[in-house]
Amino acid sequence: MGMQGRSVGHGDILRSYAMWKPGVVLLWLLIAVPARPAPKVTFYRNIAPIIYTQCSVCHRPGESAPFALLSLEDVKKHATQIADVTKRRFMPPWQPEAGYGDFAEERRLTDAQIQLIQQWVADGELPGTIANAPKPPKFSSEWQIGPPDMVLHVTQPYQLSAGGGEVFWNFVMPVRVKTEAWVRAIEVRPGNPKVFHHANVIIDRAGNARRLESKPGAGFEGMDITVQEDSFDPDSHFLSWKPGSEPVVAPDGMAWRATPGMNLVLNVHLRPTGKPETISPEIGIYFTSKPQTKFPMLVQLEHDSAIDIPPGDTDFLVSDDFTVPVDLHVLAIYPHAHYLAVLMEAYATLPDGTRKWLIRIPHWDLNWQGVYRSKQPVFLPRGSVISMRYHYDNSSANARNPNNPPKRISAGNSSTDEMGHLWLQVLPVADSDQRAAVQEALMKHRLEKYPGDFSAEFNLGALLMDQNKPAEAIPYFERAALAQPTSALAANEMGVALMAQSNLPDAGKLFQRAVNLDPAYTDARFNLASAEAAGGDWPSAAKNFRQVLTEAPESEKARQHLGEVLYLWGDDFAKAGNFQRAATHYQEALVFRPADAELHTNLGQVLAQLGRKQEALAEFQAALRANPSFEPARQALALLQRH
């Protein structure tokens, strides 16, 4: 029995198989055929797509990166450096570890992309055929999402010295809206991105930041600032800027609220360049006609009081755990620490014991901190526990340790202090506004860590005031005042609670205390004037309302109330027969209430008493123009005309 074989040539397809017949097993031998050489890695086919999508957004003229990467020539100048920093994953700067959260705008290179860059340099940085090249990116030097509806400018630019350490500066920028408005996006234009490392925008509705300035518009220094509000209105969005970032446009129903008298605080991280620099940033605001129908809020985990890191400690742990009181989605995450942090972890443990990772940063670098937005909302059912685990290295082995030799480090706002914060943007699942429930749980958790804490006591009181429960709120404000006896905010809010219970004398004393503690506290002065007016103290009320209008000319409520006080003050003089003083106050009140028919009529009557008939006739006629059906004015006019 035989079998006809054949020779295997170089052109044959490589294969190996067995043929079986009874009693005979034959194997075809696998004979290697030389493979075709792999094509060379070239710039236009292989490297340009990586550079244009991952690098050029920052490496271009006018941005913070030290050189441009927009062409073959640009890249070849720095080819060896690019190969080195990408192999070490130093560039592009992306801190979260793969597999521990899925984020939009990810700038992490794949292993294959890193290998392509290595091979391109090894092959001699070949250009390749330009016909294979993708189109170079185009960047607008103007506003990225079109002309803003409003542009905020700094009052006084900051002058950055040529040398010295990094600077954290705060610009306070008024948002001049006359009525409530809804904001869908903001865009920060640094003006001088070479020195502008990153920035955060803080909403200040109560004008507290203004009181930190030496004079209006001067700004103030500080790395991490907290703005206290006198009502429950939690921050809902991460408003920030970093090199290469694009403005985030809120989806329909998730716009945030702009209110008359509010400020935006632009907190910027600046780095000297070796020559004096002028810093004059702008903020563009984009409004929408679609109001808020969904209610996200920012949730913070932290345990700064536990930060007391001995010199030489290589693994100091700071942790916090928060149980969510409602079903919610995590939309974005912002981890924050200073220079000693090395490993940062955040995860959620679901009620069934499953762990869901939120983020893990194995090599923290403050220089590249940022907000990370989830590609898809991360669902956490009620009862899930969010955990923060931050590890710090205060030894000489930590290259970022600002102290050599190491020193004991505690918590603080200076860059040489430490922090351990985990901020989350969360959106409750329910259609109704669930923020109060989340805030209450947060503040009670804070009291567990810090018994008698001012902010927790105050915020719980503010929540009860929003629920129209002033009697229940007062004990919280009292404990807040005990925690911070010099707090004008606590004195003012306790006064509001007492006034809601018609306790005018004690409320007035607290408002006066708040103004004494902080003479620039406009809201407290307004409340003091209101209490004085309710008690019939027209001179004091008028004086304080005038002061409010000096500090906040846009306050329509202060204008309205001052007009009413002057009107009622005039009534008192009229009843006492002092018609000249009454006329003076009525005339001044009309400046604030020009369309008040009753006020015009009263002024006409006292002018008639003073024998100024023509002026009285003019006031009665003005009253009827304001309200043609106002019968007292019609009767007074007819009576005066008969005489």
**CA 167 vs CA 52, 154, 223: distances in Å:** 32, 17, 8
Assess whether 163 and 251 both reside in one domain. Answer: yes
Helix axis angle for 488-500 and 470-483, nearest 10°, is 160
**What is the band of 545 on the pLDDT scale with cuts at 50, 70, 90?**
very high
Question: In the beta sheet, which residues pair with residue 26?
Answer: 19
- The predicted structure's pLDDT at residue 231: 58
Mean local confidence (pLDDT), 76-95? 92
Residue 13 inside a domain? The answer is: no
- The predicted structure's pLDDT at residue 32: 54
Tell me the C-alpha distance between 168 and 241, whole Å.
14
DSSP 112-143: HHHHHHHHHHHTT-----GGGPPPPP---SS-
Using the predicted structure, report yes or no on whether residue 147 has a pLDDT greater than 80: yes
- Total number of domains in the chain: 4
- The predicted structure's pLDDT at residue 395: 98
Assess whether 278 and 320 both reside in one domain. Answer: no
CA nearest neighbour of 513 among 534, 537, 493: 493
- The predicted structure's pLDDT at residue 26: 40
Assess whether 120 and 165 both reside in one domain. Answer: no
- The predicted structure's pLDDT at residue 182: 96
pLDDT above 90: percentage of residues in the chain: 70
Strands (DSSP E) contained in 393-478 are 409-410, 420-428
Count, residues in the chain:
643
Q: What is the pTM of this model?
A: 0.80
Residue 543 inside a domain? The answer is: no
Using the predicted structure, report yes or no on whether residue 22 has a pLDDT greater than 60: no
**HEC readout, 321-384:** EEECCCCEEEEEEEEEECCCEEEEEEEEECCCCCEEEEEEECCCCHHHCCCEEEEEEEEECCCC
Peptide bond into 405 cis (omega under 30): yes
Using the predicted structure, report yes or no on whether residue 207 has a pLDDT greater than 90: no
**The pair of three-digit structure tokens given for residue 93, joined into one six-digit string:** 């700067």
Tell me the C-alpha distance between 434 and 236, whole Å.
12
Between 544 and 227, residue with greater pLDDT: 544
Residue 37 inside a domain? The answer is: no
**What is the band of 228 on the pLDDT scale with cuts at 50, 70, 90?**
low
Residue 282 inside a domain? The answer is: yes
Assess whether 119 and 195 both reside in one domain. Answer: no
As a whole number, the mean pLDDT across the chain is 89
- The predicted structure's pLDDT at residue 11: 39
Side-chain-side CA neighbours of 135 within 13 Å: the count stands at: 3
Mean local confidence (pLDDT), 299-320? 97
pLDDT digits (tens, 9 = 90+) for 122-144: 999 999 988 878 988 887 768 88
Residue 550 inside a domain? The answer is: no
- The predicted structure's pLDDT at residue 373: 94
Handedness of CA 103, 108, 111, 112 (dihedral sign): positive
Assess whether 428 and 390 both reside in one domain. Answer: yes
Residue 518 inside a domain? The answer is: no
Mean local confidence (pLDDT), 284-310? 95
pLDDT digits (tens, 9 = 90+) for 478-498: 999 999 999 999 999 999 999
- The predicted structure's pLDDT at residue 512: 98
pLDDT digits (tens, 9 = 90+) for 516-532: 999 989 999 999 999 99
**The pair of three-digit structure tokens given for residue 394, joined into one six-digit string:** 């205060």
Tell me the C-alpha distance between 221 and 413, whole Å.
11
Residue 345 inside a domain? The answer is: yes
**CA 613 vs CA 110, 588, 599, 605, 622: distances in Å:** 90, 20, 17, 9, 14
Assess whether 116 and 247 both reside in one domain. Answer: no
- The predicted structure's pLDDT at residue 307: 97
Q: Which domain-ending residue is among 429, 450, 471?
A: 450
Q: SS3 of 34, please?
A: coil
**The pair of three-digit structure tokens given for residue 583, joined into one six-digit string:** 């006329």
Q: Which domain-ending residue is among 239, 258, 288?
A: 288
Q: Tell me how far apart the terminal alpha carbons of the chain are, to the nearest angstrom.
A: 147
Supply the CATH number for residue 625's domain. 1.25.40.10
- The predicted structure's pLDDT at residue 232: 62
Q: To the nearest 10°, the Cα dihedral for 526, 551, 278, 143? A: 70
Mean local confidence (pLDDT), 204-222? 86
Mean local confidence (pLDDT), 614-631? 94
- The predicted structure's pLDDT at residue 27: 42
Mean local confidence (pLDDT), 346-370? 95
- The predicted structure's pLDDT at residue 28: 41
**CA 451 vs CA 184, 226, 456, 479: distances in Å:** 38, 20, 9, 10
Task: Return the H-helix or E-strand segment holding 194.
Answer: none
Tell me the C-alpha distance between 347 and 359, whole Å.
7
Assess whether 324 and 368 both reside in one domain. Answer: yes
Assess whether 167 and 280 both reside in one domain. Answer: yes
Instruction: Tally helices (H) and strands (E) across the chain.
Output: 16, 23
Using the predicted structure, report yes or no on whether residue 99 has a pLDDT greater than 60: yes
Supply the CATH number for residue 157's domain. 2.60.120.310
Cβ–Cβ < 8 Å for 453, 483: yes
Q: Which residues contact 220 (CB under 8 A, 6 or more apart)?
A: 169, 170, 172, 209, 212, 213, 214
**What is the band of 379 on the pLDDT scale with cuts at 50, 70, 90?**
very high
Assess whether 312 and 442 both reside in one domain. Answer: yes
Tell me the C-alpha distance between 354 and 570, whole Å.
71
**What is the band of 19 on the pLDDT scale with cuts at 50, 70, 90?**
very low
Using the predicted structure, report yes or no on whether residue 288 has a pLDDT greater than 90: yes
Phi-psi region of 555 (alpha: psi -120 to 50; beta: other; left: phi over 0): beta
Assess whether 275 and 313 both reside in one domain. Answer: no
Assess whether 121 and 159 both reside in one domain. Answer: no
Using the predicted structure, report yes or no on whether residue 548 has a pLDDT greater than 90: yes
Cβ burial, residue 279 (10 Å; 0-12/13-18/19+):
buried
**What is the band of 13 on the pLDDT scale with cuts at 50, 70, 90?**
very low
Residue 444 inside a domain? The answer is: yes
Q: Which domain-ending residue is among 288, 316, 343?
A: 288
> Residue 159 sits in which domain range?
150-288
In this structure, what DSSP letter does residue 203 have? E
Tell me the C-alpha distance between 542 and 520, whole Å.
17
Assess whether 352 and 274 both reside in one domain. Answer: no
Report the b/e string of 196-234 with b at 16+ CB within 10 A: bbbbbbbbbbbbbbbebbeeeeebbebbbbebbbbebbb
**HEC readout, 213-242:** CCCCCCCEECCCCCCCCCCCCCCCCCCEEC
